[in-house]
Amino acid sequence: MSVIIDGKKLAKEIRENLKIKCEELKERGIEPKLAVILVGNDKPSQIYVKNKSKACEEIGIKFEEYLLDENITQKELINLIEKLNKDNTIHGILLQSPIPEQLDINEAFRKILPEKDVDGFNPVNVGKLVLNQDTFVSCTPYGIMKMFEAYNIDLTGKNVTIIGRSNIVGKPLIQCCLNKNATVTICHSKTKELKEHTKKADILIVAIGKSKFITEDMVKKDAIVIDVGINRDENGKLTGDVDFENVEKKASFITPVPGGVGPMTIAMLMNNVLKATKNLEIND
Ligand code: NAD
């Protein structure tokens, strides 16, 4: 039996603290504001944006949504980003991905001012993370690091295996774990003998997007297992990338889905918006 890492509870505590910080800022006449750009009609994106809006409302962060038609041109998207960059009442800018194929998301992320890039996707902020400098860390990896901190899990010298090399989860996680002195292995769809890598992991972090892909035989006894995946199983039930029921018996710590990494991601976004607000205040 393992300790189940309660991301829901931890995220709630973080949001409560942020609410107090937000009130303090408001008492000083500063109103934190997040601008979110949503392009097209992607249903999951609409749900993610709605959840972010709810979290902002709970904490007291002003939320502005920019809904753009799916046929928008790159120029129109960049013009909006530049307008938001110049608007001093806006502290954080988030471009919800995915965006339609005709648009260049890399250019769009590059155009968001690094100081307002609360998702940590601007190459300047990615570079700062690599150099272990203060920056906006993308929210899912940041949330996972906060979980380790809250449960007193020290990464020093640990073998961490990450599965999935996306720009938003796997790649920034490499740096986050390295910055905490872990020995990091990153696996992906072209990795051979995946099990050899998962079996040696003291900490296994999985971000693939395949329901119950990690089975009990792939996990070392007493490993710490972090499940980033969000999937639906054959019955439409929300599941992670880990076969929780069986892996839970072998792991020392494990995150559930739902109620694990997901709520932490949103809490860290809120944290980044307040960080952006404070940074801009200092620069003014
Ligand atoms: P992605 O969908 O962009 O890419 C999937 C990654 O998995 C790729 O790097 C690929 O190489 C790897 N992969 C695929 N099949 C594999 C296999 N058989 N063996 C080894 N590696 C394999 O990744 P993403 O955007 O990081 O999303 C991954 C999952 O995490 C999805 O389910 C997504 O919904 C979820 N997610 C959750 C949160 C959260 O807050 N909880 C945040 C982001 C993503």
Measured on CA atoms in the order 212, 218, 220, 223, is the torsion positive or negative? negative
How many angstroms separate the CA atoms of 266 and 256, rounded? 16
Residue pair 270/55 in contact by the 8 Å Cβ criterion:
yes
Q: What is the pLDDT of residue 282?
A: 63
For the CA of 210, the nearest atom of ligand 1: 32
CA of 214 to the centre of ligand 1 (A): 13
Q: Between vectors from CA 21 to CA 19 and to CA 27, what angle results, nearest 5°?
A: 105
Listed as ranges, residues in the chain with pLDDT below 70 are 282-284
Known catalytic membership, residue 119: yes
For residue 175, how far is its CA from the centre of ligand 1 (angstroms)? 17
d(CA 271, CA 59): 10
Q: Cα separation of 109 and 107, whole Å?
A: 6
Side chain identity at residue 247, one-letter code = V
The listed CATH number (3.40.50.1360, 3.40.50.10860, 3.40.50.300, 3.30.750.24) that belongs to domain 29-113: 3.40.50.10860
pLDDT in tens, 63-94: 999 999 999 999 999 999 999 999 999 999 99
166 lines ligand 1 (CB under 6 A): yes
Task: Collect all residues with Cβ–Cβ distance below 8 Å to 180 and sequence separation of at least 6.
Answer: 145, 148, 154, 155, 156
Q: Is 134 considered catalytic here?
A: no
Summarised one tens digit per residue, pLDDT across range 4-46 is 999 999 999 999 999 999 999 999 999 999 999 999 999 999 9
163 Cα–ligand 1 center, Å: 8
Q: Where in the chain is the domain with CATH 3.40.50.720?
A: 139-262
Strands lying side by side in the sheet with 62-68? 62-68, 33-39, 92-95
Q: Which ranges in the chain are annotated with CATH 3.40.50.10860? A: 29-113
Look up 96 and say whether it is catalytic. Answer: yes
For strands 253-254 and 3-4, give the pairing. parallel
Query: Which pLDDT does position 1 carry in this prediction?
Result: 79
Fold of 139-262: Rossmann fold (3.40.50)
Neighbours of 100 (CB within 10 A): 16
**pLDDT for 283:** 55
Name which residue sits closest to atom 17 of ligand 1, judged by CA.
189
Distances (CA, A) of 95 to 40, 65, 105, 225, 269: 12, 10, 9, 30, 13
Cis peptide before 123 (omega within 30 of 0): no
Task: Provide the sign of the torsion angle of the four alpha carbons 99, 104, 101, 262, taken in this order.
Answer: negative
DSSP conformation letters of 150-180 = HTT---TT-EEEEE---TTTHHHHHHHHHHT
Among residues 283, 237, 281, 244, the alpha carbon closest in space to that of 261 is found at 244
Whether pTM exceeds 0.95 = yes
- DSSP E strands: which ranges in 209-279? 224-227, 231-232, 238-239, 253-254
Confidence at residue 274, expressed as pLDDT on a 0 to 100 scale? 98
